[in-house]
């Protein structure tokens, strides 16, 4: 049985640069638009990243490769 993979994020390492969202939207739709990304960064009341959510992620790994802070990783589930 093949193991499935998913991308996970560590909000404590996230600098809110949105590079992951831009790379994701460009790969998926050919545009740099965070609203079209499979990645959503949820912010707390202190305006710091509280959660990183992946919706309809294709697990291509481009966001992981391009994250300058190492806040994203691919894990087996």
pLDDT, tens digit, for every residue of 27-58?
Answer: 999 999 999 999 999 999 999 999 999 999 99
pLDDT at residue 2 above 90? no
Which tokens hold the place of 31? 């545009």
pLDDT at site 31: 98
Domain boundaries, the chain: 5-76
pLDDT, tens digit, for every residue of 3-32?
Answer: 899 999 999 999 999 999 999 999 999 999
- Residue carrying structure tokens 């691919």: 74
Tell me the residue ranges of DSSP E strands in the chain: 5-9, 39-43, 49-54, 72-76
pLDDT at site 19: 98
What class has domain 5-76? Answer: alpha beta
CA distance 3 to 23: 25
pLDDT at site 25: 98
């Amino acid at each position: 049985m093949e193991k499935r993979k998913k991308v996970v994020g560590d909000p404590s390492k996230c600098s809110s640069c949105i590079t992951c969202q831009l790379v994701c939207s460009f790969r998926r739709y050919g545009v740099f638009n965070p609203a079209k990304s499979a990645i959503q960064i949820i912010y707390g009341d202190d305006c710091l990243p509280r959660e990183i959510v992946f919706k309809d992620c294709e697990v291509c790994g481009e966001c992981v490769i391009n994250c300058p802070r190492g806040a994203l990783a691919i894990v087996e589930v």
